[in-house]
Amino acid sequence: GAVVSQHPSWVICKSGTSVKIECRSLDFQATTMFWYRQFPKQSLMLMATSNEGSKATYEQGVEKDKFLINHASLTLSTLTVTSAHPEDSSFYICSASEQGLSETQYFGPGTRLLVL
> Which residues form the interface with other proteins (CB under 8 A)?
31-32, 34, 42-46, 49, 59, 93, 95, 97, 102-110
**Shortest spacing between CB 102 and other proteins, in angstroms:** 4
Q: Which is nearer to other proteins, 13 or 44 (CB)?
A: 44
Residue 78 vs 111, nearer CB to other proteins: 111
CB of 45 to other proteins, least distance (A): 8
CB of 72 to other proteins, least distance (A): 18
Edge-first strand listing for the sheet containing 19-25: 4-7, 19-25, 76-81, 67-73
Q: Where are the alpha helices (DSSP H) in the chain?
A: none
* Closest to 22 (Cα-Cα) out of 111, 112, 114: 111
CB 69 within 8 A of CB 48: yes
